[in-house]
Structure 1
Amino acid sequence: GLPSPFLRCPSQRLLDRVVRRYAEVADAGSIFMDHFTDRDKLRLLYTLAVNAHPILLQIFPGAEGWPLPKYLGSCGRFLVSTSTRPLQEFYGAPPDQTADLAYQLLGVLESLRSNDLNYFFYFTHVDADMFGIFNNGHLFIRDASALGVIDKQEGSQAASRTRENQDIFSCLVSGCQAQLPSCDTVPEKQSLVLVCQQLLPRLLQRKFPSPVQEEIDSALAQCGQGTQPDPEVLRAASRLKDILRPLRTCDPRFAYRYPDCKYDDRF
């Protein structure tokens, strides 16, 4: 099978969510697959195997607070969703704007790590094209194909699944014959380390006067150290957010939080 980070650590709750919210079939909403034709099943499996991004947009919609753009539809290999500008276009933006984007990006990773539904999302790799910004300044994940999901509530079925007891999703991870690695090997810090190593330095480098820049660089260095224990990386990311928060300004360029930011410190 083709590798799919989204299904590396499947749980029954996650698979039920996929089946129930998959919008490309008639009578969507049931956790049973009785309403799936053979063609529907093949289309779903192929999409999950090749690029799970459109599936993630459907089962974790932005309308429910997930940091993903709205899914509008797909046809074959073509996907239609809300347009955003890639993060790399903002590397040369003014300091207050880059501080705002970095702050949002850290907030997105925090919501992926800890949320009410007890799903832990992690990136297998990152690049600037994976994140986009709407016209109102709001940052979203524009490419979720490198996102894995671990169900912290139910745990993963990967370790206990046997060849004789497989569902239709089983071979999408690494092949039916392969022994799946433990999902416990994915650390909480993984996405933070990747972002602090590869994206935030380019967004924040040489943007601010001393000593603020030195504080940012120090927090970034600690956040990007993959050899550090999870709590150390999480603390460094939290400290970086605290540094960035007062560097953000409140004006109409940030329409996603303006004018609320004039009256409420939470924005």
Structure 2
Amino acid sequence: MDHLTDRDKLRLLYTLAVNSHPILLQIFPDVEGWPFPRYLGSCGRLVVSASTRPLRDFFSSAPEVAADLALQLLAVLRSMANNDLHYFFYFTHVDAGTFGVFSNGHLFIRDASTLGIIDREEGSQLIDGQQEYKDIFSCLTVDCQSAFVPCDSIREKHSLVMVCQDLLPKLLAGKFLPPVQVRVDTFLQRCAHGLGDSQGANEAMAELAEILKPLRSCDSRFAYRYPDCRYSDKY
């Protein structure tokens, strides 16, 4: 922050401590491919987006819509853990309002205040006995008497397990014919219990995506990928 004035630094640190949502939307804009809504305004949590709905509105949707949203959710989790800038995003909390859907069917993160970020290039672990420096801003939302959660305690499967516990069962429950539904339910039960030590997040997401991809349809209801889905294997 060397290029910022002292006043700008104070404003930025205070905003990050009180509510990180608007800062994240500006640092990681949607025009660069990040799964957030476009930020409008200079402060607060006011986000204006046309025709958006929370993910909870789609829990009773048709099977092909549920499969499409679940696949988008997996893609968001994958991009959060693996991206060109080497940032690792993880959720501190997820619920039915964490994600939203635009009118074109495209899923996005509507509440960025529940995200934590680890810089894999710049981050470093504390040496034994070393105390992390805490300033007044750190103490606004965190008890300074309590130790911060170390970065190495956040596993790559952390966010996936939370989504398997709280969102995917509500989105995918009872949607498909028995053979497929049994595979989906079995996966979600295993995922909700941490996947075990033998399977990583990427392998687990690939496994569920393999089940769901044949269930998607390519039609105008999914405007964010139509008609491209007719001509590209990407969709």
**Does the alignment reach a TM-score above 0.5?**
yes
Return the letter of the residue paired with 1:44: L
Q: CA deviation at 1:44?
A: 2.3
Match of residue 81, structure 1, among 48, 52, 63: 48
Match of residue 215, structure 1, among 164, 183, 190: 183
1:196 and 1:162 mapped to 2: Cα distance?
Answer: 33
- The equivalent of 1:247 in structure 2 is 215
- The equivalent of 2:4 in structure 1 is 33
2:54 and 2:220 mapped to 1: Cα distance?
Answer: 20
Equivalent pairs: percent with the same residue? 58
SS of structure 2 residue aligned to 1:71: coil
Q: CA deviation at 1:209?
A: 0.6
User: Please, what is the CA RMSD of the aligned residues?
Assistant: 2.3
- The equivalent of 1:23 in structure 2 is none
- The equivalent of 2:15 in structure 1 is 47
Q: 1:157 to 1:176 in 2, by over 3 A?
A: farther
Is the contact made by 2:80 and 2:90 (CA closer than 8 Å) also made in structure 1? yes
1:167 and 1:105 mapped to 2: Cα distance?
Answer: 36
Query: Is it true that 1:97 corresponds to 2:68 in the alignment?
Result: no
1:142 and 1:158 mapped to 2: Cα distance?
Answer: 33
Q: CA deviation at 1:220?
A: 1.4
5+ residue gaps, structure 1, are 1-15, 17-30
Match of residue 25, structure 2, among 47, 51, 57: 57
Q: 1:162 to 1:187 in 2, by over 3 A?
A: closer
2:137 and 2:34 mapped to 1: Cα distance?
Answer: 24
Q: CA deviation at 1:205?
A: 0.5
SS of structure 2 residue aligned to 1:112: helix
Q: CA deviation at 1:233?
A: 4.6
SS of structure 1 residue aligned to 2:47: strand
Q: Please list, as runs of the form range in 1=range in 2, the aligned pairs for 1:1-267 lying within 5 A after superposition.
A: 16=1, 31-34=2-5, 37=7, 40-75=8-43, 77-83=44-50, 84-156=52-124, 162-163=132-133, 170-171=138-139, 174-175=142-143, 178-226=146-194, 228-229=196-197, 231-267=199-235
Q: CA deviation at 1:227?
A: 6.4
Equivalent residues, number: 232
2:106 and 2:132 mapped to 1: Cα distance?
Answer: 44
Q: CA deviation at 1:157?
A: 6.6
5+ residue gaps, structure 2, are none
